[in-house]
Chains A and B, each alone.
Chain A
């Protein structure tokens, strides 16, 4: 299928570019110094641009999505998180979304059984795989601080120790490495095996998954199998963190494959559905308060309308109304 093969080919080509560039053309400097700075710049500027663009868009309606009792009379219990009426309610809701994937937890599946029976059931696997996938990636990214900082902040060291506490293999196995591989495999297989999901999956769904898989595989290979010279990697990393322009030392080509794929991901990030990393924090359906009855939400692009209230109307026609026998509010 084209939509699966194309992303695979693209990732393979992306992996080959730095390999050939470093191995045969000696472009260490391009891939080790210029690319990372460029990618970081694109990521930063791109994300800023997307977020500012979104924040400046007017929100015409109060479109918060709710599924709980809104704030009402005192004796009716409000579902504060499902139907927030105070900013901190909404903050809790957004954070539980970000940290725990709360709404994905409600994910269920529909299956057509024998006969015309459509059966709905609970389906937590996507939630579980998605959650451990994202958390593992976060921990892995945080752990990489050891390549950029001369002294490791204590929390990063704790994460490293916790992650490698099994202490099997040399160097010690990080649990997140295994977990992220398992989770990403599930996410790919789910898109391939389930006909319903397969049909709605696009190239842009497969590409990030394949890209991240390739990055993870290159990283795992460097740590556990084909080693690279970590001393030079660290020198390069601390250099980059200090905005130095020094040329990198001798590092294996696999490292540049890893680095270039990461750079590709960083550049791809702001222009793809991966911006949901920033977008989730400012998504109006999640961040707005369900207080449309307590507080009027004005569409910012409404043209100014000249209103005439009933009181004004009555003031003008009171005498005539009285003559015609129409009841008036104010005598």
Chain B
């Protein structure tokens, strides 16, 4: 191949790469959670009804993850007006008395969520 051809192709690849990277630049404007508002809450009720949480908590978490990471929407508002930060840590903030809260059930049902590969496992935190 002629040197000019090589140059052209290299240039093309670099151009495509720059374009591709710029597409993934942060969209900006993703509001950060209003932590103060989130902090004061009633901890006697879960985010949804107990029955719903028992069977659907993984759906909720998946939705949260999508909203928070992909859409930048980090505030969850329940129908009765309470707000939560869309984070795994939110769950643990209430369910912190029993560090084995998540683990107990999962062990019983033989499920191993891969979330803990990256996220902090409640049993790994200090008392």
Residues of A within 8 A of B (CB): 146, 150, 152, 157, 167, 169-172, 227-231, 234, 250, 252
Contacts and interface: CB of A to CB of B under 8 A. Distances in A.
A232 to B, nearest CB: 9
A252 B108 CA distance: 19
A230 B109 contact: yes
A172 B114 contact: yes
Interface of B: 51, 54-56, 58-59, 61-62, 65, 105, 108-111, 113-114
A170 B61 contact: yes
Contacts of A252: 55
23 contacts: A146-B109, A150-B108, A157-B110, A167-B114, A170-B58, A170-B61, A170-B62, A170-B65, A170-B113, A172-B114, A227-B55, A227-B56, A227-B59, A229-B51, A229-B54, A229-B55, A230-B55, A230-B109, A231-B54, A231-B108, A231-B109, A234-B108, A250-B51
Given A229-B51, A250-B51, A171 B109 contact: no
B110 A228 contact: no
- 8 A-B pairs with least C-beta separation: A170-B62, A146-B110, A227-B55, A229-B55, A152-B110, A227-B56, A170-B58, A234-B109
Residue among B54, B65, B110 having the largest count of chain A Cβ atoms under 10 Å: B110
B54 A170 contact: no
Contacts, number: 36
Contacts of B55: 227-230, 252
Given A229-B51, A231-B54, A170 B59 contact: yes
Nearest to A164: B114
A152 B111 CA distance: 10
Contacts of B61: 170
B62 A231 contact: no
A252 B114 CA distance: 26
Contacts of B113: 170
Contacts of B114: 167, 172
Which of A152, A167, A169, A234 neighbours the largest number of chain B CB atoms within 10 Å of its CB?
A234
A273 to B, nearest CB: 34
Contacts of B59: 170, 227
Contacts of A150: 108
A178 to B, nearest CB: 18
Contacts of B51: 229, 250
B49 to A, nearest CB: 12
A165 to B, nearest CB: 10
A172 B112 CA distance: 10
Contacts of A167: 114
Nearest to A172: B114
Nearest to A238: B108
Contacts of B105: 231
A171 B54 contact: no
Contacts of A230: 55, 109, 111
Nearest to B65: A170
Contacts of B109: 146, 230-231, 234
Nearest to A146: B110
A172 B56 CA distance: 14
Nearest to A250: B51
A228 B109 CA distance: 13
A146 B108 CA distance: 9
A250 B54 CA distance: 11
A171 B110 contact: no
A170 B55 CA distance: 13
B121 to A, nearest CB: 17
A161 B88 CA distance: 23
A159 to B, nearest CB: 12
A169 B65 CA distance: 11
A292 to B, nearest CB: 53
A126 to B, nearest CB: 36
Contacts of B111: 171, 230
A171 B62 CA distance: 9
A207 B31 CA distance: 55
A152 B107 CA distance: 10
Nearest to B66: A170
